[in-house]
């Protein structure tokens, strides 16, 4: 069996390793556009600030794929032919496949010519590190984790920052008005000017500095404008191959298989089937990509010692990071509509919102204090019935491990 993986990011890397673990004789080929391999993108901000070293960025130790007898080709794939079951790389080499995984990640916008620009690659991070004393006034447009990360790094470099938020909420798929208000106050307290329900209407650059006219008619003069929209799925290959797209992505089963036999997809470009909601939903983020890669890779394998199929469940979804400088954990499903909900009062320590359905944790947002975050993620993933304990799950000062007793797990808090 010959498996081709398009994309050397977290989904692609872990899929290749899963194929090898489940099929010792399979021929596995990974095409990647970045010769240095995948880096842990959520840590780029920490690298810019000097909190970690460059050697801490690769997502896997150097040589991991080679040691597993996995062929790595440092060329992007430019064409997928589903009929002939081949891929063509940028050097015009054609490679056949029995199984194919599309793990193409996201589009990376072009860097600004007069400033730090985006922060999506190691080259971007080096550009940011080189501009620590540049100063100036910068505009960022966006409402998600990426835009807020850019704002935080710009303020750390003592730049003047204005954030244009298209709507009235931050992370609108996850956060309610109380959580958004916490972030808003943190931004303002740190000197960021925030304009809600505002976007860019037009921009000019008459004499070096950029003049931006907002949707409200306000004119802002700045030294640079950065698009802080969350990176978009890279669907070019799938579109050109004639694959069916829906809801801005490739719809896959919980086995991560597409509608084309033997073709799988994982990572930012997929919409995963969620049985509880009865629909396909996005499941982006680094940790989700790793989990999806492992599921897809195992199911792609055909030889020994492959066991039964495994599945990706949205109950296992977990994403953590920083929103500006506030720790954040997202568990379960975005825009979840359950039958019960509990929230904590926003405070200096943080804010929590838990949604339940049929007595089980359906979705959780933890902003600030992260105690019990791993435990809550496991309670959601294992679909443990927590009826009667809903309010206790908001507390961080008690041991809740007795809820995990059936799984024999224990998590420090």
Of 39, 41, 103, nearest to 297 by C-alpha is 103
Helices (runs of H) and strands (runs of E) counted in the chain: 9, 23
pLDDT band at 31 (very low <50, low <70, confident <90, very high): very high
Q: In which region does residue 238 sit, left (phi positive, over 0), alpha (psi from -120 to 50) or beta (all else)?
A: alpha
d(CA 136, CA 158): 9
d(CA 405, CA 210): 59
Q: What is the pLDDT of residues 75-113, one digit of tens each?
A: 999 999 999 999 999 999 999 999 999 999 887 655 454
Rg (CA), the chain: 22
Q: What percent of the chain has pLDDT over 70?
A: 95
Pair 163, 59: CB distance under 8 Å: no
Pair 360, 387: CB distance under 8 Å: no
Q: What is the pLDDT of residues 2-17, one digit of tens each?
A: 999 999 999 999 999 9
Q: What percent of the chain has pLDDT over 90?
A: 62
Q: What is the pLDDT of residues 108-154, one digit of tens each?
A: 655 454 567 788 888 888 888 887 666 789 999 999 999 999 999 99
- The whole-number pLDDT of residue 108 equals 63
Pair 82, 260: CB distance under 8 Å: yes
Residue 90 structure tokens: 């940028």
For residue 36, the 8-state DSSP code is T
Q: What is the pLDDT of residues 247-298, one digit of tens each?
A: 889 999 999 999 999 999 999 999 998 888 888 988 888 889 999 999 999 9
Neighbours of 130 (CB within 10 A): 10
30 vs 306, which has greater pLDDT? Answer: 30
CATH of the domain spanning 122-227: 3.50.50.60
- The whole-number pLDDT of residue 218 equals 94
Mean pLDDT of 303-308: 74
Pair 380, 367: CB distance under 8 Å: no
Indicate if the pLDDT at residue 412 is higher than 70: no
Give pTM, 2 decimals: 0.89
User: Most confidently modeled of 14-28, 301-315, 331-345?
Assistant: 14-28
Sequence ranges of the chain with CATH classification 3.50.50.60: 2-107+232-304, 122-227
Q: What is the pLDDT of residues 51-61, one digit of tens each?
A: 899 888 888 88
d(CA 233, CA 346): 34
- The helix-helix angle for 10-22 and 286-300 (nearest 10°) equals 30
Average pLDDT score, the chain? 90
Class of domain 2-107+232-304: alpha beta
The separation between CA 357 and the C-alpha centre of its own chain, rounded to angstroms, equals 25
d(CA 312, CA 272): 8
d(CA 146, CA 31): 26
d(CA 1, CA 100): 11
- The whole-number pLDDT of residue 88 equals 97
Q: 345 has which bridge partners?
A: none
- The whole-number pLDDT of residue 39 equals 83
Sequence ranges of the chain with CATH classification 3.30.390.30: 315-407
Class of domain 315-407: alpha beta
Residue 256 structure tokens: 């991560």
Q: What is the pLDDT of residues 177-231, one digit of tens each?
A: 999 999 999 999 999 999 999 999 998 887 778 899 999 999 999 988 888 988 8
- The whole-number pLDDT of residue 16 equals 96
- The whole-number pLDDT of residue 111 equals 47
């Amino acid at each position: 069996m010959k498996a081709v993986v398009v994309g050397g990011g977290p989904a692609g890397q872990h899929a290749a390793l899963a194929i090898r673990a489940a099929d010792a004789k399979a021929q596995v080929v990974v095409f990647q556009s970045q010769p240095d391999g995948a880096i842990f993108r959520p840590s780029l901000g920490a690298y810019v600030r000097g909190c970690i070293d460059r050697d801490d960025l690769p997502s896997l130790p150097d040589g991991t794929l080679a040691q597993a007898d996995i062929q790595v080709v440092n060329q992007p794939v430019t064409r997928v032919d589903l009929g002939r079951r081949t891929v063509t790389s940028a050097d015009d080499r054609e490679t056949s496949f029995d199984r194919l995984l599309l793990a193409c990640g996201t589009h990376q916008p072009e860097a600004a010519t007069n400033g730090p620009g985006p922060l999506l690659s190691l080259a971007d991070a080096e550009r940011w590190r080189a501009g620590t004393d540049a100063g100036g006034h910068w505009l960022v447009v966006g409402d998600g984790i990426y835009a807020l990360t850019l704002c935080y790094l710009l303020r750390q470099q003592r730049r003047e920052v204005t954030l244009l938020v298209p709507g009235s909420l931050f992370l609108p798929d996850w956060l309610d008005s109380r959580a958004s208000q916490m972030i808003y106050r943190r931004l303002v307290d740190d000197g960021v000017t925030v304009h809600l329900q505002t976007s860019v209407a037009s921009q000019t650059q008459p004499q070096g500095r950029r003049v931006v006219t907002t949707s409200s008619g306000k004119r802002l003069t700045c030294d640079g404008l950065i698009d802080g929209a969350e990176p978009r799925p890279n669907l070019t290959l799938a579109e050109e191959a004639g694959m069916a797209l829906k809801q801005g992505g490739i719809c896959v089963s919980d086995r991560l298989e597409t509608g084309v036999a033997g073709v799988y997809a994982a990572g930012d470009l997929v919409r995963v089937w969620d049985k509880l909601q009865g629909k396909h939903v996005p499941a982006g983020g680094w940790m989700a990509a790793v989990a999806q890669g492992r599921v897809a890779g195992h199911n792609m394998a055909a030889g020994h010692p492959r066991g039964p199929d495994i599945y990706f469940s949205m109950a296992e979804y977990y994403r953590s990071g920083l929103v500006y400088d506030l720790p954040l954990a997202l568990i379960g499903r975005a825009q979840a509509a359950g039958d019960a909900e509990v929230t904590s009062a926003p405070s200096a320590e943080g804010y929590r919102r838990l949604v339940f359905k049929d007595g089980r944790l359906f979705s959780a947002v933890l902003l600030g204090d992260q105690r019990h975050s791993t435990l809550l993620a496991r309670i959601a993933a294992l679909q443990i019935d927590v009826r009667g304990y809903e309010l206790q799950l908001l507390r961080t000062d008690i041991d809740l491990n007795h809820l995990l007793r059936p799984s024999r797990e224990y998590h420090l808090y």
